Amino acid sequence: MVEFGLEQLRQAFRSLPLPGVAAQLRMAAAYRREFPLVRPEGAQEAAVLVLFYPRGGRGLCFPLTRRTDRVEYHRGQISLPGGAREPGESLEATALRETREELGVELSGAEVLGSLTPLYVPPSGFQITPFAAWLPRRPVFRPDPAEVAEVLEVPLALLFDPAARREAAREHGGTPVQVPYYAVGEHQVWGATAMILSELAALLAPEWCGT
């Protein structure tokens, strides 16, 4: 069982270099290697947030969202809260603002721990920079119904459970492919979100993840 507190999180995010692309690709379909992982010219910048908080007997948790069918990109998929950077805004500020807007949470007292490796997402054309933050209390969620159909409170320990890492058959270009995902209840967390969480797991517990 892998357990973490605030000081362990702080120490992990001070570690350099980051696990990077190799860790991201552990939870990527083989075809993902056909696309650039770093920002191509003209890509828009965005940021997402992994918001850690304590939740009683479940240890540390972080929220994921199931997107509604009304959003522009990745409809119905499971994702980290986040979105596009606004003019003059830092990427860290983007991650915090978008989390407030999507989840309706109060982030006073939150401590930004650091960032992970940026990841380019071809379907939306965004370069995503993931950030992590600590909140000393479980937030009250008031999600935006236009963007968020459901909030999933995910135990951090799930990332280190071998039974939660699975594969499913999907189609890519008319060809069946196997796509890795994290099983969160009845939901499949795959694509860019799974790749970000894979690097997070490798950063927090490299010995557990084989890095």
For residue 62, tell me if it sits in a domain: yes
pLDDT along the chain (211 residues), means of 10: 84 93 92 72 91 88 88 72 96 98 95 96 89 97 93 96 92 82 95 96 79 44
Q: What is the pLDDT of residue 34?
A: 73
For residue 170, tell me if it sits in a domain: no
Q: What is the pLDDT of residue 70?
A: 65
Q: What is the pLDDT of residue 177?
A: 86
For residue 168, tell me if it sits in a domain: no
Q: Which helix (H) or strand (E) holds 178?
A: strand 175-184
Please state, as a whole number, how many other Cβ atoms lie within 10 Å of the Cβ of residue 115: 16
Parent domain of 108: 6-159+191-209
* Burial class, 47, CB count within 10 angstroms (exposed 0-12 / middle 13-18 / buried 19+): buried
Number of domains forming the structure of the chain: 1
Say which CATH number the domain at 13 has.
3.90.79.10
Q: What is the pLDDT of residue 33?
A: 76
For residue 186, tell me if it sits in a domain: no
For residue 197, tell me if it sits in a domain: yes
Q: What is the pLDDT of residue 73?
A: 54
Q: What is the pLDDT of residue 61?
A: 96
Q: What is the pLDDT of residue 211?
A: 44
For 36-40, the CB contacts below 8 A with 24+ separation are 36/120, 36/122, 37/119, 37/120, 38/118, 38/120, 38/127, 39/118, 39/120, 39/127, 40/120
For residue 116, tell me if it sits in a domain: yes
List C-alpha distances in Å: 140 to 105, 106, 137, 161, 170. 6, 8, 9, 27, 35
For residue 165, tell me if it sits in a domain: no
Q: What is the pLDDT of residue 65?
A: 96
For residue 167, tell me if it sits in a domain: no
Q: Which of 171, 65, 83 is nearest to 127 (CA)?
A: 83
